[in-house]
A and B are shown apart, each in its own frame.
Chain A
Amino acid sequence: MMNKFTISGSPHIQGDASTKKIMYGVVIAMMPALLVGVYYFGIGAVRVLLLAVVASLFFEWLIQKYLIKGPVTITDGSALVTGILLAMNVPSNLPGWMVVVGALIAIGMAKMSFGGLGKNIFNPALVARVFLLVSFPVQMTSWPKPTPISNGLADVITGPTPLGIVKEGLGNGQTMSQLAPELPSYTQDMIGSIGGSLGEVSAIALILGGLYMLWKKIITWHIPVSILLTVVIFSGIMWGFNPEQYADPVFQLLTGGLMLGAIFMATDMVTSPMTKGGQLIFGIGVGLLTILIRFWGAYPEGVSFAILIMNAVVPLINKGFKPRRFGARPGVTVKA
């Protein structure tokens, strides 16, 4: 008897990478930050997280099955990542229905209407966050104060974020030295016992997740490092100029959504540039816009807007920044 052979073009072997592995790798990387969020914001954080994830998966399923009538791919992990990122980007006391609206915007508007996985221009979770921020400014900026789980389920007290304190204080004519007693220490910023969205508060946990993704080669260093460096340099210059009017660079690094944005949002493969050179430019853009908004904008925080604005110019960056072509540096000229 004769075997029937498979015929196909080379290569005949493929590596073991897969979209699923990448997505679940990102989920693992988000775990430390999520645990810190649950630790400080308790049951409210769990509620928002579950709602965001379930709603994101549900909307993706609904749209794929009944609107597009195509294959359902909710197990690929991408909607799960979007759901978790959405939860990380909102306060833990956000009303449940708003979380669901956020998931609908993220999955329905920002992702599926562009053609689904891989085709969206803007980061879905960020589109949802900004949509919620603009639509429900009060709920989106009433931040529960961090109370460790060990303190029991006390009534949630709300308070401003460090960036909010600075924005309002400076706006009222106060100086940084006058505001200093109201601000949390750097240690608190590092571990996350500060007010903010449930996934953004702990710089250490986010960096841990970033290192995991670097180790697993899910991301490269170019985007996070260029964002953080730009923020440090730009805010450092302004701070050096007038330390009473501009918060210092370490404060800029450790507060607000910068770490979350630089490590998990801006590095989204789908919405960031394809070459390392382009990624550096993208990161510098995000860093500059973030500080511009923080210092001179109407909002205390600007990371989300900065990333979305830079998402829009990614196609342009991709056109301008090509990989180094082989042969561009001959290394020798041979004469006969």
Chain B
Amino acid sequence: MGILKTFALGGVHPEENKLSSQAAIEVLPIPKQVVVPLGQNLGAPSKPVVKKGDKVKTGQRIAEAGGFISANIHSPVSGTVLKIDSSIDSTGYKRPCIFISVEGDDWDESIDRTDKIETNILLTPDEIVSRIKSSGIVGLGGATFPTSVKLMPPPGKKAEYLVINGVECEPYLTSDHRIMLEKGREIMVGIQILMKALHVEKAIIGIENNKKDAINHLTELSRSLPGIQVVSLKVQYPQGGEKQLIKAVLNREVPSGKLPIEVGCVVQNVGTAFAVYEAVQKNKPLFERVVTVTGKGVKKPSNFLVRIGTSVQELIEAAGGISETTAKVISGGPMMGKALTSLEAPVVKGTSGILLMDDGESHRKVENPCIRCSKCTYACPMGLEPFLLIKTAKLGNYEMAEKEMIMDCIECGSCQFTCPSGIPLLDYLRLGKIKVGQSIRNRNLKKA
């Protein structure tokens, strides 16, 4: 075995803590009520197409895309629409949601509920894209960018590679790992569907070396499939970032401010590939996903197949409940996840995991003066200077922040993770990015 591939610049290696990697995916019982937020994807929120009192079936469309970058939403359960009202979501804000009370589990007839794996891809590329669009599929790695948009390269651009993200570089999370182990064959069909839609001949699946069983399994499956290659990667955070992954597997760098298509790549998560398989081959829209429930204080770290709209509370109870010492509940991983304000927050399309942290683990270090050690600069995977950018943000010098390329920051948190002085670098970076983003938008408006 040679030297494992990884990305070129920066990165950190936090403790992996993959506590639930051996826990097979369990189907979580359907709750009594689901709360389905209308803003689940990157871009515009969806618009409801049902009203109070309507009877809905599992898989029936209940909200439609609210713009080009938006997605349909399907009912995760069968039952009656109780109301459309605001409710707290994972951002901590009250946002419009569709409340549905559950009655049985009556699926839409058009969905193929058999276990048979359909390997023949009958749909044409255009039909595939429109099926993915109508099924409400978004990037399940966490970014929730509508998948169909990524499959339609802008005029003049052409995809050469489909890069499949099986990296799961966030500590603790194991949902992608379990999907690769348990749904490998479906993922392979999903990848072929995506390749067909993109008109590409080559696909690369990048997986970090701490998931050897998944690497072996998918390598075995890919043997009979020309054009699909599995690449084993050195464990290094944030390798799951699109730009870092492309750099790692193909040694190509997406230029500043550009999309992966600029270097001929389209990146999709393994979970998304599975959802694509289900939508295209089984006509099943996206209304459930695999969520890891984990943490050092969790009795039974698990991976659950969960209907969208199930409350985080119910997930935690299924994993053995919350302990007295739990001080922080995070939606997502410890590096990029969001701290939840309430356990009522529902699971959404982008929920990859729920992480419970104890008091000691969740406290930030005391902030000390910057000693200019440069560790943040060495750790930055984008080659930025976080110590300098936070100074521009603190001083309100956003022009300089923009010149120093603050918008390239991917908010991975490597700088803050590595800082010996416990400085909350990413807090200030976010502030700077918001301000610079506003001024760029204002400038563009003036031009237009």
Q: Which residues of A contact B (CB under 8 A)?
A: 2-15, 17-19, 21-22, 73, 76, 78, 116-119, 269-270, 272, 274-275, 318, 322-332, 334-336
The residue from B251, B371, B374 contacting A331, defined by CB atoms under 8 A apart = B251
Q: Which residues of B contact A (CB under 8 A)?
A: 8-9, 12, 14-15, 92, 156-158, 160, 171, 243, 247, 250-256, 258, 262-264, 322, 324, 326-330, 332, 334-341, 343, 355, 357, 361-365, 368-375, 377, 380-385, 387-388, 405, 408, 411, 413, 416-422, 424, 426-427, 430
Residue on B nearest A116 in the bound complex, by CB: B369
Q: Are B371 and A118 neighbours in the complex by a CB distance under 8 Å?
A: yes
Q: What are 24 A-B interface contacts by the 8 Å CB criterion?
A: A6-B362, A7-B339, A8-B328, A13-B335, A14-B364, A17-B419, A117-B368, A118-B370, A118-B421, A274-B374, A274-B385, A326-B253, A327-B253, A327-B255, A327-B256, A328-B383, A329-B253, A330-B252, A330-B253, A330-B262, A331-B263, A332-B264, A335-B158, A336-B156
The 6 nearest A-B residue pairs measured at CB: A11-B413, A17-B420, A334-B264, A325-B383, A118-B369, A327-B255
Give Cα A189 to B253, complex, Å. Answer: 49
The residue from A9, A14, A274 contacting B419, defined by CB atoms under 8 A apart = A14
Give Cα A78 to B252, complex, Å. Answer: 43
Chain B residues lying within 8 Å of A275, measured Cβ to Cβ, are 374, 377, 385
Q: Are A22 and B327 neighbours in the complex by a CB distance under 8 Å?
A: no
- Shortest C-beta distance, A335 to chain B (Å), equals 8
Give Cα A170 to B196, complex, Å. Answer: 81
Chain B residues lying within 8 Å of A7, measured Cβ to Cβ, are 92, 328, 339, 341
Q: Are A8 and B365 neighbours in the complex by a CB distance under 8 Å?
A: no
Give Cα A17 to B411, complex, Å. Answer: 20
Known contacts A18-B420, A325-B256, A326-B408: A10-B372 contact under CB 8 Å: no
Give Cα A274 to B384, complex, Å. Answer: 11
Q: Are A10 and B383 neighbours in the complex by a CB distance under 8 Å?
A: no
Q: Are B328 and A334 neighbours in the complex by a CB distance under 8 Å?
A: no
The residue from B343, B373, B413 contacting A10, defined by CB atoms under 8 A apart = B413
Give Cα A43 to B252, complex, Å. Answer: 61
Chain B residues lying within 8 Å of A13, measured Cβ to Cβ, are 14-15, 171, 334-335, 361, 417
Known contacts A12-B335, A274-B377: A322-B371 contact under CB 8 Å: no
- Shortest C-beta distance, A27 to chain B (Å), equals 15
Q: Are B335 and A334 neighbours in the complex by a CB distance under 8 Å?
A: no
Q: Are A117 and B371 neighbours in the complex by a CB distance under 8 Å?
A: yes
